[in-house]
Amino acid sequence: MRIDVVTIFPEFFDVLDISLLGKARQTGLLDVTAHNLREFTHDRHRTVDDTPYGGGAGMVMKPEPWGEALDTILGPTDAADPVTGTGAPVVIFPSPAGEVFTQKMARELAGREHLVFGCGRYEGIDQRVFEHAATRAEVRLVSIGDYVLNGGEVAVMAMIEAIGRLIPGVVGNPESLVEESHEDGLLEYPSYTKPAQWRGLEVPPVLLSGNHGAIDRWRREQQLERTRRVRPDLLPPGAGDPA
Ligand code: 6GU
- ipTM for this model: 0.93
Calculate how far, in angstroms, residue 143's C-alpha sits from the geometric centre of ligand 1: 5
Under the banding of pLDDT at 50, 70 and 90, the label for residue 182 is: confident
Q: Of 7, 144, 147, 159, which is best to mutate to test ligand 1, by the most ligand atoms within 8 angstroms of its C-beta?
A: 144
Average pLDDT over every residue of 94-117: 97
Cα 117 to middle of ligand 1, angstroms? 13
Among the ranges given (147-161, 168-182, 184-198, 207-221), the one the predictor scored with the smallest mean pLDDT: 168-182
- pLDDT for 125: 97
- 213 labeled part of a ligand binding site: no
3-state secondary structure of 33: strand
Q: What is the pLDDT of residue 86?
A: 74
Q: How close is the Cα of 232 to the center of ligand 1, in Å?
A: 24
- Do the Cβ atoms of 115 and 65 come closer than 8 Å? no
Ligand-binding annotation for 200, yes or no, is no
Q: How confident is the model at residue 181 (pLDDT cuts 50, 70, 90)?
A: confident
Q: How far apart are the first and last CA of the chain?
A: 46
- 31 known member of a binding site: no
Statement: residue 141 has pLDDT above 90? yes
Atom of ligand 1 nearest to the CA of 145: 10
pLDDT at position 210 is 98
Judged on CB neighbours under 10 Å (0-12, 13-18, 19+), 228 is middle
- Determine the average pLDDT of the residues in 112-119: 97
User: What mean pLDDT is reported for the chain?
Assistant: 93
31-84 pLDDT, tens digit per residue, is: 999 999 999 999 999 999 999 999 999 999 999 999 999 999 998 765 555 577
Cα atoms in the Cβ-side hemisphere of radius 13 Å centred on 223: 20
